[in-house]
Amino acid sequence: MPDTPVGELGYEQARDELVEVVRALETGGLGLDESVALWERGEALAKRCEEALAGARERVEKALSEAEE
């Protein structure tokens, strides 16, 4: 399990890793310790993705409002 700090990942990397995390948890067969760690990692990745999307939306809206002035 790579442990790059979540803040250093790009959106696509974070999302892809989140997909992997969800699939690994669904597949099951992991120990409790590992599951908890994986879940926490997933929460962090999800938060990172939500922030990236919110930033992207904000940039689009800002560009549009500037163009309309």
Partner 1 sequence: MSSPSTEEAPWPVRTVARKISEWIDRLGAVWVEGQLAQVTARAGTGTAFLTLRDPVANVSLQLTAPMGLVSEQREVVAEGNRVIVHGKPSFFPGRGTLSIRVDRIRAVGLGELLARIERLRRLLAAEGLFDRARKRRLPFLPQRIGLITGRASAAEHDVVSNAQARWPAVEFRIENTATQGGLAVAQIVEALEILDRDPAVDVIVLARGGGSVEDLLPFSDETLCRAVAACRTPVVSAIGHEPDTPLVDHVADLRCSTPTEAGRRLVPDLAEETARIAGLRDRGRRALHGWVDREQRLIDSLRARPVLADPLRDMARRHEELERLRAATHAAVDRRIEREVREIGHLRARLTALGPAATLARGYAIVQRVTSDDVLPVLRSVAQVGAGDALRIRVGDGVVHAAVQDDPDA
CA atoms within 13 A on the CB side of 56: 9
**Site membership for partner 1, residue 53 (CB under 8 A):** yes
Could you tell me which of 33, 29, 2 has the C-alpha nearest to residue 17?
A: 2
d(CA 23, CA 16): 11
**Site membership for partner 1, residue 62 (CB under 8 A):** no
For the CB of residue 59, give the shortest distance to partner 1 in the complex, in Å.
9
Residues that bind partner 1 (CB under 8 A): 1, 3, 11, 15, 18-19, 21-22, 25-26, 31-37, 39-40, 42-43, 46, 49-50, 53, 56-57, 60, 64, 67
